[in-house]
Structure 1
Amino acid sequence: MPMTSPSPSFAALAAASASTTLQAQKRALRRAVAARLAGVEERSLEEQSRAITARVLALPFLAPCTSISCYLSMPSAEARTGPLVETLLEAGKNLYVPKIASAKDGRMDFLRVYDQADLEDLPSGTWGIREPGEMWDAQNLKRGRVSGTKGELDVILVPGVAFDRSLSRLGHGKGYYDRFITSYVASGRRKPLLGASFFHTSV
């Protein structure tokens, strides 16, 4: 008697179809948001970035935090985080910024930036975003990193393409932050607080 492979269940087919539809909707939303952000004037971009910086720095839970991760903004169409990370460094916070560890595997790590001079010297990496190298050139020392250590982050400030009214986040679709946080928590460390910065626009 010939062997036959089991047919996929209706539920499995429906779930796959729903997943495909959801991904298509996310791609469409990213395109729509990108089109809106492309029309944001420079003055509005600066004003909103300053407002976001002030709002983040005023968060009551931020003051006692010692280790904070903040993304470094893309050259355009994203809230500018330069003033924010500069203020965090001036306040003596341990600042960590993202670095793509493997674009193929979608892995990201967070490496420490030590001071303003270090921040200014960071070269451009993926998507024109500044990323730290493995070594801290000023002292020729290996940078502090989050993965593979027992160190903990108190807060991760994440970018987002869009957010709904319940603050669910739509990222750029690569899954870097989701994978990092899953791995981070699986290592036995407590999940850090997550904060987001975004422009006020509607689609």
Structure 2
Amino acid sequence: MSSTASSRSAHAIYGAIKAQKQALRKSMAASLRPLSSDELKEQTKMIHARVMTLQHFKESKSVSCYLSMPSSEAGTSELVDSILDSGKRLFVPKVQSKDDSIMDFLRVYSSEDLACLPAGTWGIKEPADSWEDHERTSILRNKAEAELLDMIILPGVAFDRNLLRLGHGKGYYDRFITAYVASGRPKPLLVGICLREQLLPEGKLVPGESHDWKLDVLVTADEIITRDVATSKELDNVRV
């Protein structure tokens, strides 16, 4: 096959995967639409309780967790409070460049700090670069004193039992994890949290690309899905 034909084939495959992802996002939005606020709160409570039982969570010193939207995903308000209350260092996402899909994680120092965060992209709370006249600790920016993350708790649109995750299509998390690992730091445990409606049926897979990172753990309201520990260590930098 000529290089031109090969390039066309790769482009066609890429386009097909993109279309599959968009179709799944649309389908998932329809599935989540009937979810009541009470059901969302109940599932969120159960997911929170399961995350707290994870041994890696108990042993972690630094945890990154997304700040949730009011609907369409598992809430994290109680979870981030628990992270702070347990004395762990909490880092939350901050979009640095929408055009380049660049995201960093900045430290939140207290419950009071968390409560005062302004709304950023999509109305989700984001920290300013400074707090009480001091520059916040940043995961990517502070290279001289590189902060280690033990765990990243990720959102998603859809998930499968092979621990593939479909995001919103901007690639923020995949780019961040790639940059973090490229800095020479060990990959954090990647933990997805997932509403029942977001977990695809057995045998059905999230369409994946080479730059997509697989999860290590998926927590739902009903169960915890994990990779084999030995396999997880061998495939520490696994992507799709």
User: Under TM normalisation by the shorter chain, which class is it?
Assistant: over 0.9
Displacement of 1:141 in angstroms is: 1.3
Q: Which runs of 4+ in 1 moved over 4 A?
A: none
Give the alignment's Cα RMSD to 1 decimal: 1.2
C-alpha contact 1:75 1:128 (8 A) present in aligned 2: no
Instruction: Letter of the 2:136 partner, please give it.
Output: R
Once residues 25 and 64 of structure 1 are traced to their aligned partners in structure 2, the CA distance between those partners, rounded to angstroms, is 38
1:84 counterpart (46, 67, 79): 79
Q: Partner residue of 1:114?
A: 109
Displacement of 1:12 in angstroms is: 2.2
Q: Does 1:63 align with 2:63?
A: no
Give CA-to-partner distance per residue, 1:129-182, whole Å, 9 cap, x none.
00000111xx32111110132111000000011111201011110000010111
Q: Partner residue of 1:27?
A: 22
Q: Partner residue of 2:129?
A: 134
Report how many residues are paired: 195
Displacement of 1:8 in angstroms is: 4.7
Secondary structure of 2:103's match?
strand
Q: Any unmatched runs of 5+ in structure 1?
A: 1-6
Once residues 120 and 38 of structure 1 are traced to their aligned partners in structure 2, the CA distance between those partners, rounded to angstroms, is 28
TM (norm. structure 1) is: 0.93
Once residues 114 and 106 of structure 1 are traced to their aligned partners in structure 2, the CA distance between those partners, rounded to angstroms, is 25
Q: Partner residue of 2:211?
A: none
When Rg is computed on C-alpha atoms for both structures, the one with the higher figure is 1
Question: For structure 1, which segment, 93-102 or 148-157, has the greater mean C-alpha deviation from structure 2 after superposition?
Answer: 148-157
Q: Any unmatched runs of 5+ in structure 2?
A: 201-240
Displacement of 1:75 in angstroms is: 2.1
Give CA-to-partner distance per residue, 1:34-73, whole Å, 9 cap, x none.
1111211111100000011001111011111100000000
Instruction: Letter of the 1:118 partner, please give it.
Output: D
Q: Does 1:37 align with 2:32?
A: yes
Secondary structure of 1:92's match?
coil
Once residues 43 and 37 of structure 1 are traced to their aligned partners in structure 2, the CA distance between those partners, rounded to angstroms, is 13
Q: Does 1:18 align with 2:13?
A: yes
Once residues 96 and 125 of structure 1 are traced to their aligned partners in structure 2, the CA distance between those partners, rounded to angstroms, is 16
Secondary structure of 2:122's match?
helix
Displacement of 1:9 in angstroms is: 3.1
Q: Partner residue of 1:146?
A: 139
Instruction: Letter of the 2:62 partner, please give it.
Output: S
2:119 counterpart (120, 124, 129): 124
Displacement of 1:15 in angstroms is: 1.6
